[in-house]
Chains A and B, each alone.
Chain A
Amino acid sequence: MSAPHGPVAAGGAPLQADGAALPAAAVVDAPPPPARRRGATRRMLRSPLGVVVLVGVLWFSAAFLVMPNATLLLATFVPDGRLSLSAFERLLSSERALRSLGNSVLLAATLAVTVNVVGVFIVLVTGWFRMRARRVLWLGYATTFVYGGIVLAAGYSFIYGRYGFVTNALAQWWPDLDRDWFSGFAAVVAVMTFATTTNHMLFLSAALAGIDHQAIEAARLMGASTATILRRIVIPALRPMLFAVTVLTFLTGLGALTAPLVLGGEDFQTVAPMILTFARSSSSRDVAALLAILLGLATIVLLALMNRVERGGTYFAVAKVAVPITPQPFQTRWGSVVVHVLAWALWAVYVFPVLCAVAFSFVDARAIMSGSITAADLTTDHWVGVLTSADALGPFVVSVVYSGLASAAVVLGLLLVARALTRWRGWLSSLLEYVLHIPWILPTILIALGLVMTFDRPRLLVGGQVLTGTVVLLGIAYVIVKIPFTLRLLKAAFAAVPDELEDAARILGAGQLTTIRRVVVPVIAPTMAAVAALNFTSLLDDYDAAVFLYHPLFEPLGIAIKRSTEGEANVQSMGITFVYTVLLMVVQGLVLWLVYGRRGAGARRRG
């Protein structure tokens, strides 16, 4: 359930927080957008590097950012060359489609409440109260950083779903049990609630950590109780960030694809799965496109709203030397007991599926089906299978290759772009930056559908090639969705390189490219590596783009995992999915630890 969007940084420039992680500090400390310089555009056009970057960006944007969306709009509103509202009429006459719209809004609104309740609770018990074993608690809740999207939906389905272990175990004691008990609206809400608290853990925790501890001590000296301090000082300081994460949660609910697909059942289908269904047949593609456009519009409106509100909010400590907050003791024994019990119960909910995934990767699938596991059922077959059979390992390799190539391409491709944008801050670079942020305001589904519908015929901009049905289109989609996040962080990295460093190289005789290669790139190399690694892990378990664009001979991981949830016939692949899940968690956990572990998470884990 990866949210396609991250809060907008203070200066208004957007950040993307796909799936798992993103440096919270980059959001909180984002500098205001630098002022434009007069003559910058002229200077850019005079520099060979500037012209190369300009031509490259214009071509890429025209071919892959603008044309697909234009095609989508045209196919919907101007089919056969004449303005027509037939897509609207067909949408209005489809009861299923209308119901899915209502369901999406219902899901989004419900999540906005439930995720906030759970998320704020998590932030308080990991960052505010003096809890026992706070670090263990944090790690439990943080499992969603490495366990999300289609993997998580599949995991819940294998545990609580129709053929799930818990369902089977319950059925032994209670034969009348409705085997579909974990399905529909309630199941989707439950799964998504626990899966989307990542935004709270990233952004709200950072905001909480940014509150000046001395302000709290001052309040305490004036006689304020913990409750008063929470209500009068802490919550107001967090309000803008709360608003931002609420919008993000709402958007996640609106565009949810995997959870409703796997757990929604017949009764509860939302817009995104509906788009997928309609897009499968060319006769209903226009309705799919219309739904995608509506989803995109809602996203744009909500993000614009969030942007406005955030700009008005002040959530930075005003103190010159803000002292980080330290955990607050409980004032009553009862309060402590109640909060501890709740916190650990919630922890169990988060950790149980992860433990199951690890355990079940060593258990025979039939035993899971039967709902009782004995020592005799333990096996390493799944692991041996995945690691030795080309068929089973295939999807993992395909995903690794796609993610690796796409994340390297986007970082290297944007290196000179980010440099040009920070160097020549004129109207032209602002325009390029806005264009490159198009993917940030559009749901992945919309981007993927646009690509499919645009490149199903020869296009001049890509050398007269048909790309739909080839292996490259999914790679292009991965590059596109990673552009805003990568550009944002690379720009910040370039901006953090002191101008004096470049001046020094220049006065010593180094040209532009030499300066970049020998002085600037070594300085920003850690950021480049971190961004590439984060891109890599978040693409690894992608489903949203893959389902529209994958090549049947090169099935990525997300598709394979989704298939394993489709009914009893596929139950044998369940064990393999658990192995994939464990592998993904290890890879993603490792990358996150390398990127943030030793330093960035300190604020969240302190104590």
Chain B
Amino acid sequence: MIRFDALRVSFDDHVALQGLDLDIGEGEFFTLLGPSGCGKTTALRSLAGFVEPTSGTLHIDGRDVTRVPSERRGVGMVFQSYALFPSMSVRENIAFGLSVQRVPRDEQRRRVDEVAAQVGLRPQQLTRGVAELSGGQQQRVAIARALVLQPRILLLDEPLSNLDAKLRVQLRGELQRLQREVGITTVYVTHDQEEALALSDRIAVLSEGRLEQVGTPREIYEQPASAFVCDFIGEATHLSAEQRAALAGAGVDAGRDAWVRPEHVSVTAADDRDPAESGSGDLPAVVLSCAYRGSTTLVELEAAGARLLASVPSAEAARVEVGDRVRARVEVSAVHQYGAAA
């Protein structure tokens, strides 16, 4: 439904997007994920028509919209700051687009009421000024304002970043429910990987204006296509040359870059004489620190002269103490290896 074709955007002195290729399907919840400054907002704003691409094309529904003005692209947008009009009431904010299109008053009323109910705004909130609303309510107004024009596509630029942690999780769920209900194709921008993994049908990971990987949350997490993605999504230990050499016997290619996630490293007592299971390698290690996380505990180890993270059920972790000599067992099949050795 949406296609980015070799989309390149450069500003005065540097390139924000260097030839982005993306295909987003009808009704999909699609997320652009990446660290600050990687070009997510730029990609979204190009789609909205606020940024003129230097080269490349943009198609929506098979139509080339690269030079089509924003208001004729059939997209709605929720801005990071919400960009609510401070001089208008909630109702006026939501109705703004309709009034610009000279929709009759009673129809405006009806559609505003409808969309307000959809996003969970109570009727008595509609007459208030937007400054009187809480952050979560403001966000609902912003979504309602974008949806009332019934766009084909909804763009959201870090809509949850201004909220506190608890509200963020709650609104995340509502957002997902709303998107399913309305069935609207959604492009979502965030730098919060947890949010991206929880919400998205598919995710595109960007780094420095380049696409690193596109895939479902599971693919992105379990089969990261590059060292960058592996490092950026979730936690992972970058294995040192000594660690790789020590694990070479179990099947790790000592000549290539290697990463392992903490949940694929377990800790057993140093005097455990059981031979290593096939497909895993043992390293003697010392416990450096333990960070309790509820059901699991993140144990920081020193193994083969370098750091190694292990995620351990908290019950097991209770048996080890800082300074203990232990064995770190690495699931070699779950080690991600990239390129030539660093």
- By beta carbon, the residue of chain B nearest A38 is B12
Collect the chain A residues with CB atoms within 8 Å of residue B81's CB: 498, 500
Query: What is the interface size of chain A, counting residues whose CB is below 8 A from a CB of the partner?
Result: 19
Which residue of chain B has its CB nearest to the CB of A525? B87
Given contacts A498-B83, A508-B149, contact A37 B12 (CB under 8 A): yes
Do A503 and B96 touch across chains, with their CB atoms under 8 A apart?
no
Q: Which A residues touch B49, using CB under 8 A? A: 507
Q: Is the CB–CB distance between B80 and A509 below 8 Å?
A: no
Query: Are B71's CB and A508's CB within 8 A?
Result: yes
B25 to chain A: closest CB distance in Å?
23
Q: Is A523 an interface residue (CB 8 A)?
A: yes
Query: Across the interface, which residues of A come within 8 angstroms of B100, CB to CB?
Result: 508-510, 514
Q: B71 touching A509 by the CB < 8 A rule?
A: yes
* A38–B12 alpha-carbon span in the complex (Å): 7
B50 contacts across to A, CB distance below 8 A: 503, 506-507
Cα distance, A519 to B97, chains bound together (Å): 12
Query: Knowing A500-B79, A500-B80, A523-B86 touch, does A509 contact B12 (C-beta < 8 A)?
Result: no
Q: How far, in whole Å, are A70 and B252 apart by their CA atoms in the complex? A: 83
B177 to chain A, nearest CB (A): 24
Interface membership of A505, Cβ < 8 A: yes
A40 to chain B, nearest CB (A): 11
Q: Counting CB contacts under 8 A, is A31 at the interface? A: no
Contact check, B149 vs A504: say whether CB atoms are below 8 A apart.
Answer: no
Please state if B96 and A505 are interface contacts (CB–CB under 8 Å). Answer: yes
Contact A507/B77 with A500-B83, A519-B85, A523-B87 known, Cβ cut-off 8 Å = yes
A451 to B145, CA, bound (A): 53
Determine whether the beta carbon of B97 is less than 8 Å from that of A508: yes
CB-based contact A509/B97 at 8 Å: yes
Smallest Cβ distance from B108 to chain A, in angstroms? 13
Q: Is the CB of B71 within 8 A of A504?
A: no
Partner of A503, one of B76, B83, B85, B87: B83
User: What CA separation (Å) do A503 and B12 show in the bound complex?
Assistant: 21
Within 8 Å CB of A387, what residues of B?
A: none
Residues of A within 8 A of B79 (CB): 500, 503-504
State whether A501 touches B83 (Cβ < 8 A).
yes
How many Å from the CB of B285 to the closest CB on chain A?
41
The answer to whether B137 has its CB under 8 Å from any CB of chain A is no
Query: Interface digits, A496-530 against B, CB 8 Å rule (1 contact, 0 not)?
Result: 00101101111111100010001100110100000
Q: How far is the CA of A507 from the CA of B101 in the complex (A)?
A: 12
Report the separation of the CA atoms of residues A522 and B50 in the bound assembly, to the nearest whole angstrom. Answer: 23
Which residue of chain A lies nearest to B49 when distances are taken between CB atoms in the complex? A507
Known: A38-B12, A503-B50. A509 touches B149 (CB 8 A): yes
> Which of B81, B84, B100, B101 has the most chain A CB atoms closer than 10 A to its own CB?
B100
Is there an interface contact between B85 and A507, defined as CB atoms closer than 8 Å?
Answer: no
B48 within 8 A of A: yes
> Do A506 and B70 contact each other (CB < 8 Å), given the known contacts A37-B12, A38-B12, A500-B80?
yes
CB distance from A508 to the nearest CB of B (A): 4
- Most chain B CB inside 10 Å of its own CB: which residue of A38, A507, A518, A523: A507
Q: Which residues of A contact B101 (CB under 8 A)?
A: 509
How far does the Cβ of B333 sit from chain A's closest Cβ, in whole Å? 47
Mark out the residues of chain B between 42 and 63 whose CB falls within 8 Å of any chain A CB in the assembled complex.
Answer: 48-50
Looking at chain B's contact residues, the main secondary structure is: loop
Q: Is the CB of B203 closer than 8 A to any CB of chain A?
A: no
| Per-position binary interface string of chain B over residues 62-103, scored 1 when its CB falls under 8 Å from any chain A CB and 0 otherwise | 000000001100011101110111111000000011001100
Given A37-B12, A38-B12, A508–B83 Cβ distance below 8 Å? Answer: no
Give complex CA distance A504, B12 in Å: 24
CA gap between A523 and B83 in the complex, in Å: 12
**Nearest CB of B to A361, in Å:** 42
Smallest CB separation, A442 vs chain B (Å): 35
A501 touches B85 (CB 8 A): yes
CA of A37 to CA of B52 in the docked complex: distance in angstroms? 14
- Chain A nearest CB, measured from B67 CB (Å): 14
**Complex: A527 Cα to B107 Cα, angstroms:** 35
CA distance A150 to B85 in the complex (A): 45
Which residues of A lie under 8 Å from residue B80 when comparing CB positions? 500
Q: How far is the CA of A523 from the CA of B50 in the complex (A)?
A: 22
A510/B96 in contact, CB under 8 A: yes
CA of A37 to CA of B12 in the docked complex: distance in angstroms?
A: 8
Least Cβ–Cβ distance between A259 and chain B, in angstroms: 45
Residue interface mask B254-297, A partner, CB < 8 A = 1: 00000000000000000000000000000000000000000000
- Complex Cα distance, B158 from A500, in Å, reads 13
Chain B contacts for A507, CB-based, 8 A: 48-50, 70-71, 75-77
Q: Which residues of A contact B48 (CB under 8 A)?
A: 503, 507
How far apart are the CA atoms of A510 and B71 in the complex, in Å? 8
A contact residues around B88 at 8 Å (CB): 522
How many Å from the CB of B297 to the closest CB on chain A? 35
Smallest distance from the beta carbon of A497 to chain B beta carbons, Å? 10
Task: Report A515 CB to chain B, min CB distance, Å.
Answer: 9
B85 contacts which of A38, A505, A506, A509 (Cβ < 8 Å)?
A505
CB of A270, distance to nearest CB on chain B (Å): 49
B96 partner residues in chain A, CB cutoff 8 A: 505, 508, 510, 518
In the complex formed, the residue of A with least CB distance to B155 is A507
CA distance A525 to B12 in the complex (A): 33
With a CB–CB cut-off of 8 A, which chain B residues contact A523? 85-87
Taking the closest CB of chain A, its distance from the CB of B100, in whole angstroms, is: 5
Closest-CB distance, B305 to chain A (whole angstroms): 39
Write the chain B residue with the least CB distance to A502: B83
Q: A504 with B87: in contact, given A509-B97, A514-B100 (CB under 8 Å)?
A: no
**How far does the alpha carbon of A38 sit from the alpha carbon of B14 in the complex, in Å?**
13
The answer on a CB contact under 8 Å between B87 and A522 is yes
Whose C-beta in chain A lies nearest to the C-beta of B101?
A509
Contacts of A514 in B (CB 8 A): 100
Q: Which residues of B contact A505 (CB under 8 A)?
A: 85, 96
Complex Cα gap A500–B146 (Å): 14
Task: Give the chain B neighbours of A500 by CB distance below 8 A.
Answer: 79-81, 83
In the bound assembly, the distance between CA atoms of A433 and B83 in angstroms comes to 29
In the complex, per-residue mask of B219-239: 1 if CB is within 8 Å of any chain A CB, else 0: 000000000000000000000
Instruction: Convert A458-483 into 0s and 1s, putting 1 for each residue whose CB lies closer than 8 angstroms to a CB of B.
Output: 00000000000000000000000000
Indicate which residue in A508, A518, A525 contacts B145 across the interface (CB closer than 8 Å). A508
Chain B proximity of A363: nearest CB distance (Å): 50
**Across-interface contacts of A498 in B (CB, < 8 A):** 81, 83
Neighbouring A residues of B149 by C-beta, 8 Å: 508-509
Give the CA-CA distance A559 to B190 in the complex, in Å. 65
Interchain CA distance A386-B95 in the complex, whole Å: 53
- Determine the distance from Cα of A522 to Cα of B48 in the docked complex, in whole angstroms: 25
Report Cα–Cα, A8/B77, bound state, in Å. Answer: 40
Within 8 A of A (CB), among B153-199: none
* Residue in chain B with minimal CB distance to A503: B50
CA distance A510 to B77 in the complex (A): 14
A513 shortest CB reach to chain B, Å: 11
Please report B residues at the A interface, Cβ cutoff 8 Å. 12, 48-50, 70-71, 75-77, 79-81, 83-88, 96-97, 100-101, 145, 149
Give A residues with C-beta under 8 Å from B: 37-38, 498, 500-501, 503-510, 514, 518-519, 522-523, 525
Sample 19 A-B pairs with CB under 8 A, ordered by A number.
A498-B81, A500-B80, A501-B83, A501-B85, A503-B48, A503-B83, A504-B79, A507-B48, A508-B96, A509-B100, A509-B101, A509-B149, A514-B100, A518-B85, A518-B96, A519-B87, A522-B85, A522-B87, A522-B88
Leading 5 A-B pairs by shortest Cβ distance:
A522-B87, A508-B97, A500-B83, A504-B83, A509-B71
7 additional contacts, CB 8 Å, given A500-B80, A504-B145, A506-B50? A38-B12, A503-B50, A504-B85, A507-B71, A508-B96, A509-B100, A522-B87
